[in-house]
Structure 1
Amino acid sequence: MSLLARSLAELVCDRPGASAIFHRHRLDFCCGGQQSLAEALAARGLDAEPIVAELEALPQGHDNDIDWRQADSARLIEHLLTRFHTVHRAQLPELIRLARRVEQVHRDRPGCPRGLASQLMLMAEELESHMQKEEQILFPLFQQGELALAAGPVRVMEAEHEQHGSSLELISELTNDITPPEGACVTWRALYQGLRQLREDLMLHIHLENHLLFPRAQV
């Protein structure tokens, strides 16, 4: 099967480094991961040839990386908790602090991301509620093998993932695609670096749940 015919989610699983390429070209491999590469490129109006060449240059297989498709649910859930839930809880308070500082000091400067701190506070509340539901309800069902009972909560979590994707889009709009203006201060640059990391982490988090963990509830 050609790379263009494969889904974004499959390519992220098969080729370490594909997620970085998709981030760079703003291809949504988490909530939009079921679309083929060809469909995603057409939707963005992107030339397929150079992006396919980038993907073909990536190594296949996982070597030192773990192929999470082969991990049992307990191990995958532990990874989700330590690599993403814990990290998000550390990321967002600091990003909110930095955003408040930038908005306070640079509120009259063109390009100031006015409203960003409020958006991040809302996102933190929504994400915390989401993670608690996973930790208290959904993940225990997977760990106990209650896959039939997990199907309903999975649908709720998938809908909330769409909301998280919309939040990332709004952050992108407020920040010129998370691009600091020329001459931005150290705080401003640190804020945007953190926002880029949050976006990458959250998209990978959603990808692992939507495409690797959640389908196990549908057996």
Structure 2
Amino acid sequence: MENLEEKSVGQIVAEDYRAAEVFENHKIDFCCHGNRNFGEVAQEKNMDVQTLINEINKVTQGKAEDQNDFESWPLDQLSDFIVKTYHRHAEEQIQVLRPYLEKICQVHGDHHPELFEVKDIFMEVSGDIAKHQKKEELMLFPFIKKLAHAQGNKDVLKALPSKAIEDRVKMLTDEHDSQGEAFRKMAELSHDFMIPEDACMAYKVSLQGLKDFQDNLHKHIHLENNILFPKAMKLIEQLAA
């Protein structure tokens, strides 16, 4: 990959998702705060820029297998993919994880009191995520699909609430920040979802489930913050010109 220092971390991951592995390893947020400049982020982390570039180039060598080029996807295709792949999966995982967390708090809470706070945070943020996804599906994605179909047709654009779309994108992006912060707090409390030696199977399933949920959330937010939303905003500007 070329000219990494001139790009945002979100743009780097958008161009090749394999770079996310490097950012995850160094606790660099490429989803909620993906608009930050790569070089500036490296400085904030007190990391050698060239070392980080070398790591990214190493994992992105060669052609990626089974990697979708989301940047080239039409907006309607990408929004449908997000709903089917990430929204539905999140809904399923929330239903699985909530009772598991209740159970392990009862069984292991005396020796691992941090579990109670992890559970409380997940209960709150999972409810927020469920509401958030419905907002996207009902209040934003239908308009994004109309935008995609409106290319070259300014009459269609005039019928769309462009300012409302922009406001909703801003609102949902802010909610992404809150979701990311909740998972950062849970990761901190659980030492990055580390499974202790005395963990039973339910404990292991719970922490691994939270880790998987976090990883999927990062990918989910990345697709929206760094690809879907910017492309929609750019299209509004083009159609309004």
| TM-superposed deviation, 1:79 | 0.6
SS of residue paired to 1:29: coil
CA distance in 1, matches of 2:22, 2:161: 34
Q: Find the counterpart in structure 2 of residue 13 from structure 1.
A: 14
Q: Which amino acid aligns with 2:109?
A: R
Question: Deviation of residue 16 (structure 1)?
Answer: 3.2
Corresponding residue number in structure 1 for 2:45: 44
Q: CA RMSD in A?
A: 2.0
Aligned to 1:104: 106
User: Alpha carbons of 1:183 and 1:39: their partners in 2 closer, same or farther (altered >3 Å)?
Assistant: farther
Question: Which digits, 9 at most, give the CA deviation of each residue in 1:185-214, with x for residues without a partner?
Answer: 222222111111111111111111111111
**8 Å Cα contact 1:14-1:61 kept in structure 2:** no
User: TM-score if structure 1 supplies the norm length?
Assistant: 0.91
Percent identical: 25
Per-residue deviation, residues 16-56 of structure 1 (Å, max 9, x unmatched) = 31112211221100111111222222223334444322211
State whether structure 2 residue 170 is matched by structure 1 residue 169: no
Cα pair distance change 1:65/1:147, threshold 3 Å: farther
Which residue pairs with 1:25 in the alignment?
26
Structure 1 counterpart of 2:153: none
Q: CA deviation at 1:14?
A: 1.9
Please say which of residues 9-18 and 107-116 is displaced more in the overlay.
107-116
SS at match of 1:121: helix
Change (3 A) 1:60 1:160: farther
Cα gap change, 1:140/1:49 in structure 2, threshold over 3 Å: closer, same or farther? Answer: same
Does the C-alpha gap of structure 1 residues 118 and 42 become closer, same or farther in structure 2, counting only changes over 3 Å? Answer: same
Displacement over 6 Å in runs of 4+: none
Return 151-160 or 166-175, whichever deviates more. 166-175
TM-score, scaled to structure 2:
0.83
Give how far 1:6 is off: 2.3
Gaps of 5+ in 1: none
In the alignment, the residues of structure 2 paired with residue 121 and residue 56 of structure 1 have an alpha-carbon distance, to the nearest angstrom, of: 39
**In the alignment, structure 1 residue 201 sits paired with structure 2 residue 216:** yes
Q: What amino acid does structure 1 have at the position aligned with 2:171?
A: V
Cα drift, residue 61 of structure 1: 5.5
Structure with larger RCO (C-alpha < 8 A, sep 6+): 2
Q: Does 1:181 align with 2:196?
A: yes
CA distance in 2, matches of 1:132, 1:7: 29
Partner of 1:70: 72
CA distance in 1, matches of 2:32, 2:68: 22
Counterpart residue type for residue 87 of structure 1: H
Whether the 8 Å contact between 1:111 and 1:175 is mirrored in structure 2 is no
| 1:212 equivalent in structure 2 | 227
How does 1:109-124 map onto structure 2 within 5 Å?
Answer: 109-110=111-112, 112-124=114-126
Q: How many residues align?
A: 219
Unaligned runs of 5+ in 2: 148-159
The answer to whether the Cα contact below 8 Å between 1:102 and 1:188 also exists between their aligned partners in 2 is: yes
Kindly provide the CA deviation profile for residues 94-141 of structure 1, in whole angstroms up to 9, marking residues without a partner as x: 112221121111111146422222211111211111111111110011
Q: Which amino acid aligns with 2:135?
A: K
2:95 is matched with which residue?
A: 93
Contact 1:30 1:203 in 2 (8 A): yes
